[in-house]
Amino acid sequence: MQAQVERDMERRRQHVKAFCKLPKVRKALSPNITSVLKNLIYVKDHGLLWCPIFKVGRGVMEIVAASTSWAKNLDRLAGENPTGGVQRLARKLYPAPRTLRALHHLPPTTTRLIIVRHPFQRLLSAYRDKMLRRRKEDEKFMKVQRFVATRFEDPNQPTVSSTHKEAPRVPTFTQFLKKAIQDIEHVKAGRSTNINHHWRPFWLECAPCLLDYQVVAQVETLDRDQEYLIHRLGITAEALNIHSHASNFDSYNGTKEATEHYYNSVPPDVLRRLLDLYQPDFLLFGYSAEPYLQLLPPT
């Protein structure tokens, strides 16, 4: 089993490297490295450099939420038992080097880890968690919910001004996707550097073309991949048995049901633009967009 996982990890790594060797790709996928380095977590004692990505958890009915789970694992290794803000605490406890030069001087045995997920499943997870959850008036994402619900059009729903007494508080999935599209387009055009971590593309969040991750774990095989990593790092298994349960805020208990419901409602032009903007994540990590392309009308 370990030998098979080792081969899979090397295959995934070489897949990323081959894609990144293409000149146009390497130039296009050059994110703000300062921002990337601030996001990294470095556990010196275990030789682990990890780029945490929000919303790479399992599905609604599965028990491992990858980012949050690993952050809690790391905090527990430091003798902490946090109840919130685990990734922020993990970065404080395990700061990574702040320059590429310093990063290149880490011990050669350092394991560089990234955990990824199908890009469109990650977007749906972000929507269900951050846009459907009922929040208090002063919460950050309540303001985001209202902004998205009143600033972006959905052809299946009439637009209502934010000043209207019946202004919607919860955006539709299409409105949310339009927000994600706008954020990425603004970054690509140089008009902004800010994309929320929950829907920021992998290539922007973790710079895989610059950092050469040896372990490319995937949520779809996370139990197996995490066990492999435990053995690779020599970490006591009992220290890594904390899992965070994903939450859903709609009536869909299964990932397949939710995917069909939400993506079937997305206008073709929005889906095409989404596929275009997240294409690097699909190509870098070997994910297929075919099931979603089938939702598009024939051209």
pLDDT, tens digit, 9 for 90 and up, residues 113-124 = 999 999 999 999
Q: Residue 213 in contact with residue 51, Cβ under 8 Å?
A: yes
- Nearest CA to 241 out of 257, 252, 227, 262 is that of 227
How far is the CA of 288 from the CAs of 30, 70, 126, 227, 277, in angstroms? 23, 26, 19, 25, 14
pLDDT in tens, 64-113: 234 456 666 666 666 666 555 667 777 888 889 999 899 989 999 999 99
Using the Cα atoms of residue 219, residue 223, residue 262 and residue 135 in order, give the sign of their dihedral: negative
pLDDT, tens digit (0-9, with 9 covering 90-100), for 254-269: 678 888 889 999 999 9
Contact 92, 83 (CB under 8 A): no
In the predicted model, what is the mean pLDDT of residues 239-267? 71
CA distance 132 to 198: 14
Asked if 85 contacts 186 with a C-beta cutoff of 8 angstroms, the reply is no
Summary mean pLDDT of the chain: 81
Range in 12-21, 29-38, 49-58 the model is least confident about: 49-58
What's the pLDDT at 260? Answer: 87
Place of tokens 């275009």: 276
- 157 has which bridge partners? 154
DSSP-assigned beta bridge partners for residue 49: 42, 112
Q: How far apart are CA 285 and CA 149, in angstroms?
A: 32
Mean pLDDT for 260-286 is: 93
State how far the Cα of 110 lies from the Cα of 124, in Å rounded to an integer. Answer: 33
pLDDT at 54: 77
72/89 Cα distance (integer angstroms): 9
Q: Hey, which bits of the chain come out as E strands? A: 41-43, 48-51, 111-116, 215-218
Taking the model in full, what pTM does it have?
Answer: 0.84
Q: Are strands 111-116 and 48-51 parallel, antiparallel or unpaired?
A: parallel
Q: Specify burial of residue 72 (Cβ count, 10 A radius: 0-12, 13-18, 19+).
A: buried
